[in-house]
Amino acid sequence: MADGVAPTEAKWRYLQNVLNRRGPFTDPDWEPGMTTLETLANMKILGAGGLGCEILKNLALSGFKDIHVIDMDTIDVSNLNRQFLFRHSDVGRPKAEVAAQFVEKRVKGVKITPYCGKIQDKDEEYYMQFGMVVCGLDSIEARRWINAMLVGMVDEDSPDSLKPLIDGGTEGFKGQARVVLPTMTSCIECQLDMHAPRAAVPLCTLATIPRQPQHCIEWAHIIAWEEERKDITLDTDDPEHITWLYNKALSRAKEFNIPGVTYSMTQGVVKNIIPAIASTNAIVAASCCNEAFKIASNTNPPLGIPETSNYMMYTGDDSVYTYTFEHQKKDDCPVCGNLARKLDVSPKCTLGEFLEGMAERPEAQLKKPSIRTEAKSLYYQFPPSLEEQTRANLTKKLVELVGDGEEVVVSDPAFQQPFKFKLVFRD
| Amino acid letter for position 396 | K
Helix, strand, coil % in the chain, rounded to nearest 5: 40, 20, 40
Neighbours of 87 (CB within 10 A): 12
CA pair distance 100, 57, nearest whole angstrom: 10
CA pair distance 212, 206, nearest whole angstrom: 10
Measured at the CA of 398, the angle between CA 394 and CA 399, to 5 degrees, comes to: 140
Active site residue 204: yes
Buried/exposed code over 203-219 (b: 16+ C-beta within 10 A; e: otherwise): eeebeeebeebbbbbbb
* 289 in Cβ contact with 62 (< 8 Å): yes
- Cite the beta strand spans of 192-320 per DSSP E: 311-315
CA pair distance 69, 121, nearest whole angstrom: 13
CA 375 to chain centre: 34
CA pair distance 166, 119, nearest whole angstrom: 15
Q: Give the active site residue among 116, 204, 288, 289.
A: 204
For the four alpha carbons of 353, 359, 360 and 365, in that order, the dihedral sign comes to positive
Residue 370's alpha-carbon distances to 166, 173, 237, 246, in angstroms, are: 31, 37, 22, 28
CA pair distance 55, 309, nearest whole angstrom: 22
Residues 6+ apart with CB under 8 A from 175: 168, 169, 280, 281, 283, 284, 313, 314, 316
Neighbours of 22 (CB within 10 A): 12
* 264 in Cβ contact with 78 (< 8 Å): yes
Catalytic residues: 204
